Copies of this chain bind each other. A is one copy, B any other.
Amino acid sequence: MSPTKLYWEDFEAGQVRDLGTITPTREEIIAFASQFDPQPFHLDDEAAQASVFGGLCASGWHTCAMAMRLMVTNFLNNTSSMGSPGLEGIQWRKPVFPGDTLRLQSTVLETKPMGRRPDLGMTRNLWEMFNQHGDEVLRMEGWGMFKRRTPLPSDGL
C-alpha cells in the first residue's frame, strides 16, 4: 500500500485512472461459469460456436468480477473506500474470450457529500473495460462511498 492514501476530498469530476490489465485463461472462464453461470456457451466449445457469441466466452459476471479485482488492487485498497450502495447500469458490449487482455479505466463523473453522514462522501464513476483490440467489452456506472479526510462539523448538517 502506498502511504498517500486517497480520501473523498481527493476526488473530482473528470479524473481518469488507468487501473491495469487482467487476462482470463480458458480454465478460469470455465471454473467461474461452472460455479456461477453454467450456461452452455460459457462451458462448451460446440454450444458456444452455435450461439450468438461465436465461441466459448466468459460469464458477464466473471467480467465484472475481474474489473472489481483490478479496481480493488490498483485503486480501492489505497483509498478510504467504504463500499458501494449499487450501480446505475452495466452493459456487456462484446464477449470476452480466453486469453483476451482486458484493461480497466475509471472516470470520476461527480462527487457529493453524503447527507446524513458528516464523515463520508460519495463519488459517481464510469468504469470501462477494453480488450486488446480496443473494443469496449464492459461499461458500468455507479456510486462509491469514501471516508472524508476531515469530517464536517456536525452543525454543518
A residues contacting B by CB (< 8 A) are 32, 35-39, 41, 51-53, 59-61, 64-66, 68-69, 72-73, 76-77, 81-92, 142, 145
Task: Please indicate the chain B residues that have their CB under 8 angstroms from the CB of A77 in the complex.
Answer: 38-39
The answer to whether B72 and A37 touch across the interface, beta carbons within 8 angstroms, is: yes
Contact of A87 among B32, B41, B72, B89 (CB under 8 A): B89
Known: A37-B65, A38-B77, A65-B37. A84 touches B60 (CB 8 A): yes
The answer to whether B86 and A39 touch across the interface, beta carbons within 8 angstroms, is: no
The answer to whether B53 and A61 touch across the interface, beta carbons within 8 angstroms, is: no
The answer to whether A87 and B90 touch across the interface, beta carbons within 8 angstroms, is: yes
For the complex, give the distance between the alpha carbons of A77 and B42 in Å.
12
The residue on B at minimum CB distance from A141 is B89
The answer to whether A84 and B92 touch across the interface, beta carbons within 8 angstroms, is: yes
